[in-house]
Amino acid sequence: MSTADKAQLRVGMVGYAFMGAAHSQAWRTVNRVFDLPAQVTMVAVAGRDRGKVTEAAERLGWAEAVTDWRELVSRDDIDLIDICTPGDSHETIALAALAAGKHVLCEKPLANNVAEARAMAQAAATARASGVRTMCGFNYRRVPAVALLRRLVEEGRLGDIRHVRATYLQDWITDPQFPLVWRLQKDLAGSGALGDIGAHIVDLTQYVTGQRIAGVSALTETFVKRRPLPSASAGLSASPAGDEAGAQTATGEVTVDDAALFLARLDGGAVATYEATRFATGRKNGLRVEINGSLGSAAFDLERLNELEFYDATVPATRQGFTRILVTEPDHPYLSAWWPPGHIIGYEHSFTHEMRDLIEAVAGGTDPRPSFDDALQVQLVLDAVERSAAAGSAWTTVDPA
């Protein structure tokens, strides 16, 4: 289909930091790689600082920059609002956008707490009746190896799932002098490693197994209780404030978890361990998942995201073993649009695939996944984790959505 004949999907984005840059790369690329029923227009990006948002718009490819996200919501020339801000503003923006009839893509975690997430899911349900679409940005579902793992489970190749083993290991705040950025403040971030990266492994494991976490036993830890106040930060890097002579800087309290660990039972009978931490020295982006079933197993590591390890217990025992599938074949999910086999893709491609699926859903009049309901359920799991940790690791049932 030629571009001129296509429907338009006119996007406004709120926020332009790490996630905003990743989303922009995806919005710019998705129509260049995939043959889609709608053509993206990157209408405007919103941010509070006039200078910075203008610079970001130019660099990231947005036609306009505005300083109030409400302007995006109220404009007629925008169809979809892409929310890339910290979690404390998700609910407000999403509700306003939905009320204005805009489709909404919201970064994960959906909200900073269950109440907000419930309100958003409710608003999404209401909007759905008018054909408005909502999606939460758990982008790792769109890593081809993860999608392949999901497919293997669906085909029954792992049999009954018995074990889930999931970690998300990072190390960017092991230095006690790393400053108190927004991700370390509960009022802005909701939680620490739990919501930031723990949410990813909750969603990913539920997605690939098709099972939901029914109950948990948890503990959380904050290894470094106070940190220097930040001077400036961007993405996951930042510098502490302070004069050049190294004078003592002011410090603030870290109000979120550095690490969250929990055991879980899934509703299909599997038992599981989960761990999310920012103190795993040497692990930069260590999202690793292993699934053991009665007929096979699979393992995934985000630092080698083009690979899936698959163990097929149905082949003769002398030839069994974990097979390193290089997930770059044309018949692998999303891959026919990219490069020849063995030419690997990167982290950012998960967003491009997310946008592809979102565009197809919006254009096709179907509801994309993960829905706000899916994301609310993840929030309920995070909530159960926090309640269990506060109650001496007591077994805690995940509330129904």
Query: Which residues in 222-312 belong to E strands, given as ranges?
Result: 226-228, 230-234, 237-240, 251-253, 259-266, 271-277, 286-293, 296-301, 307-312
Q: What part of residues 58-87 is at the interface with a copy of itself (CB under 8 A)?
A: 58-61
Distance, in Å, from the CA atom of 288 to the CA atom of 146, rounded to the nearest integer, reads: 11
Beta-sheet pairing, 7-14 with 38-46: parallel
For residue 376, give Cα distances in angstroms to 223, 325, 401.
Answer: 29, 33, 7
Among 296, 375, 376, 385, the residue binding a copy of itself under the rule CB under 8 A is 296
**Does the protein bind a copy of itself through residue 281 (CB under 8 A)?**
yes
Q: What part of residues 138-177 is at the interface with a copy of itself (CB under 8 A)?
A: 148, 162-163, 165, 167, 169-172, 174
Among 236, 361, 363, 401, the residue binding a copy of itself under the rule CB under 8 A is 236
Contact 46, 69 (CB under 8 A): yes
Q: Nearest approach, Cβ of 228 to a copy of itself (angstroms)?
A: 17
Point out which span in 99-107, 195-203, 334-342, 355-363 binds a copy of itself (CB under 8 A): 334-342
**Does the protein bind a copy of itself through residue 330 (CB under 8 A)?**
yes
For residue 67, give Cα distances in angstroms to 48, 63, 79, 188, 351.
Answer: 5, 14, 19, 20, 25
Distance, in Å, from the CA atom of 88 to the CA atom of 106, rounded to the nearest integer, reads: 12
Whichever of 128 and 283 has its CB closer to a copy of itself, that residue is: 283
At 163 the three-state DSSP class reads: strand
Whichever of 100 and 280 has its CB closer to a copy of itself, that residue is: 280
**Does the protein bind a copy of itself through residue 320 (CB under 8 A)?**
yes
**Does the protein bind a copy of itself through residue 262 (CB under 8 A)?**
yes
Among 55, 71, 367, 399, the residue binding a copy of itself under the rule CB under 8 A is 55
- The H or E element spanning position 94 is helix 90-99
Q: What part of residues 12-51 is at the interface with a copy of itself (CB under 8 A)?
A: 18, 22, 24-25, 28-29, 31-33
Size of site (CB under 8 A) for a copy of itself: 99
